[in-house]
Amino acid sequence: MKKPTPISNRNIGFSDLVDEGVKKLKLFGFENVNEENILTDEVYVFFFTRFLDSQRGKSKELDKQVEMLLYLIQAKV
Protein backbone atom coordinates (compact mmCIF):
# COMPACT_ATOMS: atom_id res chain seq x y z
CA MET A 1 0.00 0.00 0.00
CA LYS A 2 1.32 3.42 -0.98
CA LYS A 3 1.94 5.92 1.83
CA PRO A 4 0.09 9.24 1.50
CA THR A 5 2.20 12.20 0.47
CA PRO A 6 2.97 14.39 3.51
CA ILE A 7 1.00 17.61 3.49
CA SER A 8 4.21 19.66 3.29
CA ASN A 9 5.14 17.94 0.00
CA ARG A 10 1.82 18.51 -1.79
CA ASN A 11 0.39 21.46 -3.63
CA ILE A 12 -2.04 22.23 -0.84
CA GLY A 13 -4.99 24.50 -0.46
CA PHE A 14 -7.40 25.50 2.27
CA SER A 15 -9.51 22.40 1.84
CA ASP A 16 -6.50 20.11 2.30
CA LEU A 17 -5.61 21.77 5.60
CA VAL A 18 -9.22 21.77 6.77
CA ASP A 19 -9.65 18.10 5.82
CA GLU A 20 -6.44 17.19 7.63
CA GLY A 21 -7.55 19.20 10.67
CA VAL A 22 -10.93 17.44 10.75
CA LYS A 23 -9.17 14.06 10.63
CA LYS A 24 -6.84 15.05 13.48
CA LEU A 25 -9.67 16.31 15.68
CA LYS A 26 -11.69 13.16 15.05
CA LEU A 27 -8.68 11.15 16.23
CA PHE A 28 -8.85 13.15 19.48
CA GLY A 29 -12.48 12.12 19.92
CA PHE A 30 -14.28 15.13 18.45
CA GLU A 31 -16.69 13.07 16.37
CA ASN A 32 -19.00 15.97 15.44
CA VAL A 33 -16.29 18.14 13.87
CA ASN A 34 -16.71 18.88 10.17
CA GLU A 35 -15.37 21.19 7.46
CA GLU A 36 -17.68 24.02 8.50
CA ASN A 37 -17.64 24.01 12.29
CA ILE A 38 -13.87 23.51 12.54
CA LEU A 39 -13.60 27.17 11.50
CA THR A 40 -16.31 28.55 13.82
CA ASP A 41 -16.71 26.45 16.98
CA GLU A 42 -14.52 27.80 19.81
CA VAL A 43 -13.23 24.41 20.95
CA TYR A 44 -12.53 23.15 17.44
CA VAL A 45 -10.87 26.43 16.47
CA PHE A 46 -8.60 26.18 19.52
CA PHE A 47 -7.30 22.76 18.50
CA PHE A 48 -7.28 23.52 14.77
CA THR A 49 -5.15 26.63 15.23
CA ARG A 50 -2.64 24.53 17.18
CA PHE A 51 -2.55 22.09 14.27
CA LEU A 52 -2.06 24.99 11.82
CA ASP A 53 0.79 26.36 13.94
CA SER A 54 2.48 22.95 13.78
CA GLN A 55 2.44 23.12 9.97
CA ARG A 56 4.40 26.37 9.78
CA GLY A 57 7.92 26.28 8.41
CA LYS A 58 7.46 23.21 6.25
CA SER A 59 7.16 25.12 2.96
CA LYS A 60 6.50 28.65 1.77
CA GLU A 61 3.26 27.63 0.06
CA LEU A 62 2.04 25.86 3.19
CA ASP A 63 2.93 28.91 5.29
CA LYS A 64 0.81 31.12 2.99
CA GLN A 65 -2.17 28.80 3.29
CA VAL A 66 -1.81 28.59 7.07
CA GLU A 67 -1.62 32.38 7.39
CA MET A 68 -4.71 32.85 5.24
CA LEU A 69 -6.71 30.29 7.22
CA LEU A 70 -5.67 31.86 10.52
CA TYR A 71 -6.71 35.26 9.18
CA LEU A 72 -10.11 33.93 8.11
CA ILE A 73 -10.63 32.26 11.48
CA GLN A 74 -9.76 35.47 13.34
CA ALA A 75 -12.01 37.52 11.05
CA LYS A 76 -14.79 34.94 11.61
CA VAL A 77 -15.49 34.82 7.88
* 31-57 mean pLDDT: 96
Percentage of the chain modeled with pLDDT above 90: 77
b/e 12-45 (16+ beta carbons within 10 angstroms → b): beeeebbebbbebbeeeebeebeeeebbebeebb
Give the pLDDT score at 13: 76
